[in-house]
Structure 1
């Protein structure tokens, strides 16, 4: 039997698939994605199924021998990928949608196809260079100073966890101040890192659902009086519930006066800074010591892509790891090894899709799309206010989010109407809880959504 060492020609596929089969599957994948993108308006905004039905359809005995690839392909596309929330649907308004763009999808595919890694400069110089460029582009878009570093991670949860870990690694334990509207992932991050509950101050938000500077100041004074050390304030740029923006200038002044770190969670709302109206709402955000944003939300990237932007000189001292088995992939003094900017050692390149889509569409296209979404949420508010006998606007349109309620209806009725509409497949809408009140909520960030989509969604909720 011949040895695999004979000759210098290697099969294209690691496990031996011939190149014609590879092309057939590859073209089928492209066709399936484009067909989905073309027809998503006619598909359910969300579709689920029971665990038993999906496990029976997709499972079975361990496939010791190969099965027909076309059969498996159809199961993936028509069953597995169908039964999920479709965040790119024009009437998906729940949580935060994820309407990814096609150029970003291509960038993601290329990174996967080339098995890209971005852990060290010697091991991934090209992808690392792309990531440095993308981080600097995002820094510029957020109007942050030049002396800020960054790293791309899976999302806002991971980005904030990384920031808090770095700050704690440099300055130790201390009290952290946040509001009852701060994203739950921030509290989880504090617990994950071992912050004791007695150091976490969850303060009541004001009547606009913002973190109150006065309440932070009072809490700091109390802690100092009790001999506790204040460490960090966590503010929000576009809260998930209402789109509210905390008073950055006031909080930054307080942090500077008290020597505290100001971390801003902009996972949802920070990209609104690209627009004139968004920048006005987010004034002072660029005074943050660290800032997170999620390109897989309002920058139209496929999951997953989160970014941490942070003052220089904090990440590497906290995360640098150069054991003997990594000496051959340790960069020079001027090169960046991204494994030393966070928790991940093996890390794919999340920057390729951002780089390719920024160059393909131009930032102006992103700016127009974000501005359109902001205006569309304002249209939703205007439409609701035309029927004040039926609807109550609970929080006004803020950065693409609006909360509202049917007058005279119970919390259970709001939940049932949202569930019924989502189960119909026409639109996906959820409720949220604001100061013990259950309300309906729309998050509108898809530039394909139309005024008609908004009107019909609201009308169906009110029927």
Structure 2
């Protein structure tokens, strides 16, 4: 090491960097051959990792080797082609390199004076996403950590546009929990949340919404915002966006669309049909680290009129005076809650430039096609009940157990999910539909194959047989 605090020599930096690249490439090249994950045992993990704070230096290559080994051992690989449990999916190697570059150059992407190039690059990528989603030229947005923060920023912008801090927010039982969390964070009380009904497809029901709005207005309350979902976490359902846009326009309400994963399907013709009306929203949340294959964290909030973000978040401070000078300063601290923020836009910019939009489109369409293939396999025999059909690459189902009570079927369903984690070949977990557990396939990995799906369903059938036998149901 050089005789400077916290600095390696140029040769040591190269050696460490080359080794890090080799480790990542090895991880990606051999990922399919390894288990998706295993059940975590906290005591074992703490025993291996909690060894005290070091006072002196260590060889950086040895530290890297220990870090990679321990991290890889104690994670479930959400970037595995047979990780089918949740929507967050794989990243691209290009995106990972972009993250390294952004960190290595230590880019500050919060204000114009020290990050004008990154600011313009972020604006360009935001414009790409705005155009894809159908928002007008007046629109804008910014990158945030993920869908939770994107939803929070959007709802705060909606409230800032209203003269009434006591406005009501309308959701359904299928709305993502991040909305409720964000509302609490923003100071909305439980009495400001209205949960409206859903139709048989688990979409927001327009009649229920209209009745609730009318009832609230008769009671002297002020409706503020309707939160629609483009691709629910449970079933992939898309609320009727076009009709909701009409209703919100008629009633002067803000329409926010949580499209954290589902908005990515605008790239597909079939997805575009499902998402008709997306471009009429006042705000949209989407997560490129889900179905657009970027490393965590990169969420995005888009708005129909960028001035709504400025009105909600713009700040003036004496130490920021010079950041407002120059030619067309673009300060992202005026558009969101963060002043210090990393350069999240670079990974999506590099990935889109490297692969092109058509490759992303093929990958999204592949996920939807594989979900439909899985549905066909499940419907071929009498072993499975498809609870919600394949939509936006999500499918839910449960085992059929003749003459068994619903509680027994529910127990078998949960046992199957637990068994996949213990087995390690693929990971399939549960969610709940109508207060009963169902297995859910989320097929968003671009490297998942037909063979992966067929072998995973074969695994589920074996685990179902074992669970049924263990419970004495046959």
What is the TM-score of this pair, normalised by structure 1? 0.95
CA–CA separation in structure 2 for the residues paired with 1:370 and 1:12? 51
- Give 3-state SS (helix, strand or coil) of 2:73's partner: coil
CA drift at 1:456: 1.1
Q: Does 1:420 align with 2:411?
A: no
The equivalent residue for 1:444 is 443
For residues 290-329 of structure 1, the aligned pairs below 5 Å read: 290-312=283-305, 313-329=307-323
Residues 334, 233 of structure 1: CA spacing in aligned structure 2 closer, same or farther, 3 A cutoff?
Answer: same
The equivalent residue for 1:221 is 214
The equivalent residue for 1:112 is 103
The equivalent residue for 1:73 is 64
- Describe the superposition over 1:433-459 as per-residue Cα deviations: whole angstroms up to 9, x where unpaired: 011111100000011001111111111
Mapped contact 2:245–2:255 kept (Cα < 8 A): yes
CA–CA separation in structure 2 for the residues paired with 1:381 and 1:305? 31
The equivalent residue for 2:452 is 453
CA drift at 1:86: 1.1
- Pick the aligned partner of 1:359 from 353, 357, 374: 353
Residues 460, 240 of structure 1: CA spacing in aligned structure 2 closer, same or farther, 3 A cutoff?
Answer: same
Mapped contact 2:39–2:421 kept (Cα < 8 A): no
CA–CA separation in structure 1 for the residues paired with 2:342 and 2:424? 34
Q: Does 1:205 align with 2:219?
A: no
CA drift at 1:227: 0.4
Cα RMSD (Å): 1.5
Structure 2: 5+ residue runs without aligned partners? 402-407, 463-474
The equivalent residue for 2:263 is 270
CA drift at 1:331: 4.7
My pick for the range that moved more, 126-135 or 92-101, is 92-101
Q: Does 1:377 align with 2:368?
A: no
Structure 1: 5+ residue runs without aligned partners? 1-10
The equivalent residue for 2:126 is 135
- Describe the superposition over 1:2-41 as per-residue Cα deviations: whole angstroms up to 9, x where unpaired: xxxxxxxxx7986231111111110010000000001111
Mapped contact 1:374–1:398 kept (Cα < 8 A): yes
- Give 3-state SS (helix, strand or coil) of 2:141's partner: strand
Mapped contact 1:263–1:288 kept (Cα < 8 A): yes
CA drift at 1:233: 0.3
- Give 3-state SS (helix, strand or coil) of 1:314's partner: helix
CA–CA separation in structure 2 for the residues paired with 1:111 and 1:13? 23
The equivalent residue for 1:160 is 151
The equivalent residue for 1:178 is 171
CA drift at 1:46: 2.2
- Pick the aligned partner of 1:255 from 239, 248, 257: 248
Residues 328, 224 of structure 1: CA spacing in aligned structure 2 closer, same or farther, 3 A cutoff?
Answer: same
Mapped contact 1:48–1:83 kept (Cα < 8 A): no
CA drift at 1:108: 1.2
CA–CA separation in structure 1 for the residues paired with 2:302 and 2:21? 34
CA–CA separation in structure 1 for the residues paired with 2:88 and 2:424? 15
The equivalent residue for 1:86 is 77
The equivalent residue for 2:14 is 23
My pick for the range that moved more, 164-173 or 337-346, is 164-173
CA–CA separation in structure 2 for the residues paired with 1:46 and 1:144? 40
My pick for the range that moved more, 54-63 or 150-159, is 54-63
CA–CA separation in structure 1 for the residues paired with 2:178 and 2:219? 28
CA drift at 1:104: 1.3
The equivalent residue for 2:46 is 55
For this pair of structures, how many residues does the alignment match?
453
Residues 181, 125 of structure 1: CA spacing in aligned structure 2 closer, same or farther, 3 A cutoff?
Answer: same
CA–CA separation in structure 2 for the residues paired with 1:413 and 1:36? 34
CA–CA separation in structure 1 for the residues paired with 2:222 and 2:245? 18
- Give 3-state SS (helix, strand or coil) of 2:228's partner: strand
My pick for the range that moved more, 12-21 or 255-264, is 12-21
CA drift at 1:47: 3.2
Mapped contact 2:85–2:442 kept (Cα < 8 A): yes
CA drift at 1:426: 0.5
